[in-house]
Amino acid sequence: MLNYIKFALFQIIGFILSIPELLKLKYNEKKYSGIEKFRFVKNHAKRSLDLVKIKIKIIGKEKVPKEEVLFVSNHASMLDSYILVSSIAKPVGVIIADVPTWRHIPIVSHWLNLMKCVFINRESNREGMKSIIKASENIKSGHSMAVFPEGDLTWVKDPNALVSDFKAGSLKIAYKAKCPIVPMVIKNSRSTYEGYEPVGKIHSGSVEVEYLDPIYDHIENPRIKTVVLAEIIKEKMIAAMEKKIN
């Protein structure tokens, strides 16, 4: 539990100490670029992982287009959001489940807003579509987005899967934004966090993040169904995961 205690204390202290910077960015938002707003969260995520000796190796970052994209990642660990933010060079907002824990958590919720994160309601299709439209507008305005389309941890949905089935509707963000989709595979992250609750055991180790080739199928053929595209992306991600295992 020592790693978890160190990690948790760093979150509390780090975010409290960030209040002056948060206020500066919040009340002078137009004066600062997306990179400047993103810098604290990215650095905080990296330091959090460094503290518990989780090392990240990044492969294929040259494949990420210069234009804004929708990053699509698998989701095997409670620490994946830290790994994702640490691994992406450009400012990115994350699609987050609309639960009170995230929306109202002190200080953190304000940083999520500055990052242009979007909360999505999984219980209401109507509200969910509003979130999809909002995320696509963020991309159109020059701010990439990221989503974990499995909708839950892989092993919770399917203990035997490398990547579980997608909630294909999340890909509509890229359809509406007419932007590329960049699949990214996080390998070995399941071993970094033991449990499915906010309080668990954190284990030191190495994680590999691999960017796959960007996908333009939905731009070239807007009629391709999201369920079909989701299956294509899922299979590409599984193939990348298997390369690591074999």
The whole-number pLDDT of residue 26 equals 86
Query: What's the start-to-end Cα distance of the chain, in Å?
Result: 32
pLDDT digits (tens, 9 = 90+) for 66-114: 999 999 999 999 999 999 999 999 999 999 988 767 777 889 999 999 9
- Domain residues for the domain of 37 are 2-245
Non-local (6+) Cβ contacts of 67 within 8 A are 179, 180
Please give the pLDDT value at position 61: 94
Give the residue among 6, 227, 222, 191 at the shortest CA–CA distance from 83.
191
- In angstroms, rounded to a whole number, what is the distance separating the alpha carbons of residues 69 and 138? 10
Q: What is the pLDDT, as a whole number, of residue 244?
A: 57
The CATH number assigned to the domain holding 93 equals 3.40.1130
Q: In this predicted model, what pLDDT tens digit does every residue of 108-159 receive, in sequence order?
A: 999 999 999 999 987 778 888 999 999 999 999 999 999 999 999 999 999 9
User: Is pLDDT of 238 > 80?
Assistant: yes
Cβ count within 10 A of residue 162: 20
Residues 150-197: pLDDT tens digits? 999 999 999 999 999 999 999 999 999 999 999 999 999 999 999 887
Q: Strand 181-187 vs strand 118-120: parallel, antiparallel, or unpaired?
A: unpaired
pLDDT at residue 246 is higher than 50: no
Give the C-alpha separation, 162 to 114, whole Å.
Answer: 33
- Is this model's pTM higher than 0.85 or not? yes
How big, in percent rounded to 5, are the helix, strand and coil portions of the chain? 50, 15, 30
Total domains in the fold of the chain: 1
Residue with tokens 């941890």: 153
